[in-house]
Amino acid sequence: MKIPLSRPDISQDEIKMVNKVLKTPFLSIGPMVQEFERNFAKFTGAKYAAAVSSGTAGLHLALRALNIGPGDEVITSPFSFIASANSILFQNAVPVFVDIDPVSWNIDPLKIEKAISPRTKAILPVHVFGQPCEMEAIMSIAKKHNLYVIEDACESFGAIYEDKHSGTIGDIGVFGFYPNKQITTGEGGMVITNNRELLYNVMSLRNQGRPVEGGKWLEHTQLGYNYRLDEMSAALGIAQLRRAKKILQMRQDIADLYKESIDNIEGIEILPDLPGTLRSWFVYVVKLASDVKRADVIAKLTKRGIDTGTYFPCIHLQPFYKQKFGYKEGSFPVAEQISRSTLALPFHNKLTRKEINFIADTLISILER
Ligand SMILES: *Cc1c(COP(=O)(O)O)cnc(C)c1O
């Protein structure tokens, strides 16, 4: 048996939609992007949505649109995909890391205030593995210190915090649609906000700094980028979004199956359900007990055809962060401990009960002492 870590789920509807675009003269800046944005805003409950070429591009534009610039500090999590901190560096601002909570694996609100300085402009919480951050605490700190909140919701499409969709609580929220995310457009992303001025700024910046209304095609009112989403990708997104409720339920069902089959294996801890939040399953990550050698488990699973991932190496320990900021092992002990002991198991919409049973049986045979 060969079980991949991830795999996209593309139906006939997606194929039809992309084909439809290819038969029109509009491969970029056309009706599909607008429809995808409208539908995405509706799904999340945000007032406005702007499609972009990737989640990373969306994060960059969110920071740029909020005028975060050289020397400004942005508080964020060291336990994330590198793009969340890199987007801060793109603006020559400084990522200030705050350690994570050992249960949610998200930024620990109790440690945020100590990291605030006169240069702090924003908090950039990441809803890691689809688990919403403690937004009430984060928003109240932000309000008290007059900071913006940029939600990195790239892993949390479909996740709910106190009846609100992730990404709709801060000033601006960003989603990514890389093929391993809950819904995909190949490459692509979405920025959502309730602030019209911010929306217009993001729309201008993604389109080479052209004004959103009026202006001539080759007139640029500010330094912008080409961070547009093309029409084929948007069409794919529209079709994925139509199936989103079903996709999210399939992922929940698979997570439930995993829970049933591996919850009792000694040496493995599964992610808990946290009150007031609905996790949206992005990847299936488990925590190994401290006496289990992760490299051995990975090698043995690989030998039996089961792919795994080590999400995430801490951002502050990435080579160029160490070099630039002088971080060392021990800078953020909770994040480092979680990072060392986590293991991502295969997770995608089409994973079967048989495959999950095989993974569970293999884990039992590896971990039994
Ligand atoms: C996937 C991801 C991104 C970036 O999304 P891309 O579309 O790949 O650029 C940003 N932040 C987090 C936490 C992610 O998981």
Q: Is the pLDDT of residue 369 over 70?
A: no
24 CA to centre of ligand 1 in angstroms:
30
- pLDDT, tens digit, for every residue of 207-232? 999 999 988 899 999 999 999 999 99
Cβ–ligand 1 contact at 151 (below 6 Å)? no
Tens of pLDDT, residue by residue over 79-131, are 999 999 999 999 999 999 999 999 999 999 999 999 999 999 999 999 999 99
Ligand 1 center from residue 215 Cα (angstroms): 33
Closest of 335, 342, 269 to residue 310, by C-alpha: 342
Provide the terminal-to-terminal Cα distance of the chain, rounded to the nearest Å: 25
| Beta-ladder partners of 120 | 73
pLDDT surpasses 90 at 357:
yes
The pLDDT, as a whole number, for residue 327 is: 96
Q: Which residues contact 223 (CB under 8 A, 6 or more apart)?
A: 209
The CA angle 59-64-70, to the nearest 5 degrees, is: 115
- What average pLDDT is seen over the chain? 97
pLDDT, average across residues 66-84 = 98
pLDDT at 157: 98
Atom 2 of ligand 1, nearest CA residue: 154
Cβ 108 under 6 angstroms from ligand 1: no
Which residues are paired to 174 by β-bridges?
152, 191
The b-or-e profile of 255-290 (16+ CB within 10 A means b, else e) is bebbeebbeebebbeebeebeebbbbbbbbbbbbee
Does the C-beta of 80 come closer than 6 Å to ligand 1?
Answer: yes
- Please give the average per-residue pLDDT across 308-337, as a whole number: 97
Structure tokens given for 76: 């964020």
Give the H/E segment covering residue 185. Answer: none
Work out the pLDDT band at 1, boundaries 50, 70, 90.
confident
- Quote the pLDDT of residue 222: 96
Residue 368's pLDDT band (boundaries 50, 70, 90)?
Answer: confident
Buried b or exposed e, range 335-369, using 16+ CB within 10 angstroms? bbebbebbbbbbbbbebeeebbebbbebbbebbee
Tell me, using a 6 A CB cutoff, whether residue 193 lines ligand 1.
Answer: no
For the segment 270-299, what is each residue's pLDDT rounded down to a tens digit? 999 999 999 999 999 999 999 999 999 999
